Structure 1
Amino acid sequence: MENPFELILEKLNGIEKAIAKLNTVEPIVAANHPMNIKDLSTYIKMSRSSIYKMTSLNDIPHYKSGRKLYFKKHEIDEWIFSNRIKTNDDIKKEALKYINKKESEGKLLE
């Protein structure tokens, strides 16, 4: 039977290595500096091939200089948050607003 303390030390060493890997991730470039494909991939946690596909379809805001692609962080943030999904409450409010508008238009026509 293995020594339980050795097993614990082994697991702790594994945890330390995993934490060290997490701490070595390169920081994202400052907001006012352009990101390259590698930076963007890290930032939005998406594969480079998916990003290349989106750029070829012009689905993502980007810049091209020669063969290199660049991205502005604030434009990427706007792009990510531009397709907000409406909540049920948002939809109910819009429906009520529409009904009230139609009712008031109907009263004006009478």
Structure 2
Amino acid sequence: MPQAIATLQETVDRLEAKLNSNSSPTPPTPAKEWMDIEELRDFLPGHPAKATIYGWTSKKTIPFYKKDKTIYFNRTEIEAWLRDEPVRCDAELEAEALAYVERKKQERRKSA
């Protein structure tokens, strides 16, 4: 009888070891892909007013989808939209302005 218990315990130990070695970490819960205007408002930095968001949609400056009378926003597209227009520092703006002026000078020289 003790040998049967020992064999049973060994079997349980082997099964536990297999379960532990096969178990993968639980994947993170994906963020909700679609947002309504309230969820978008909470998601955006500064939490803009609903009227501001409606203004963006009417000017088509923010990516959105409309089904019947409801507006939806795709989280991935909103994240890309937020990253799309970074604020440039003064040095970057100055370098861009100098490059523009130089390019215009060269165009004038070629046309003259």
TM-score (norm 1): 0.53
Q: How far did residue 97 of structure 1 move?
A: 7.2
Give the direction of change, closer, same or farther, for the CA distance of 1:63–1:93 in structure 2 (3 Å limit): same
Distance in 2 (alpha carbons) for counterparts of 1:62 and 1:43: 15
Consecutive unaligned residues of structure 1, counting only runs of 5 or more, are 1-28, 103-110
Aligned residue identity for 1:86? R
Distance in 2 (alpha carbons) for counterparts of 1:92 and 1:63: 38
Q: How far did residue 78 of structure 1 move?
A: 1.5
Give the direction of change, closer, same or farther, for the CA distance of 1:70–1:87 in structure 2 (3 Å limit): same
Q: How far did residue 83 of structure 1 move?
A: 1.5
Identity of aligned residues (%): 31
Match of 2:83 among 78, 81, 84: 81
Consecutive unaligned residues of structure 2, counting only runs of 5 or more, are 1-29, 106-112
Distance in 1 (alpha carbons) for counterparts of 2:55 and 2:97: 38
Measured against aligned partners, the alpha-carbon deviations of 1:35-94 in whole angstroms (never above 9, x if no partner) come to 011100111111111111211121110001111111011211221221212223334555
Question: Where does residue 68 of structure 1 map in the other structure?
Answer: 70
Distance in 1 (alpha carbons) for counterparts of 2:72 and 2:98: 44
Give the direction of change, closer, same or farther, for the CA distance of 1:55–1:97 in structure 2 (3 Å limit): closer
Q: Matches of residues 1-110 of structure 1 in structure 2 within 5 Å?
A: 30-31=31-32, 33-44=33-44, 45-91=47-93
Distance in 2 (alpha carbons) for counterparts of 1:63 and 1:40: 13
Aligned residue identity for 1:85? V
* Larger CA Rg, structure 1 vs 2: 2
Aligned residues: 80
TM-score (norm 2): 0.52
Distance in 2 (alpha carbons) for counterparts of 1:79 and 1:54: 12
Q: How far did residue 98 of structure 1 move?
A: 7.8
Secondary structure of the structure 2 residue equivalent to 1:76: helix
Distance in 1 (alpha carbons) for counterparts of 2:39 and 2:81: 16
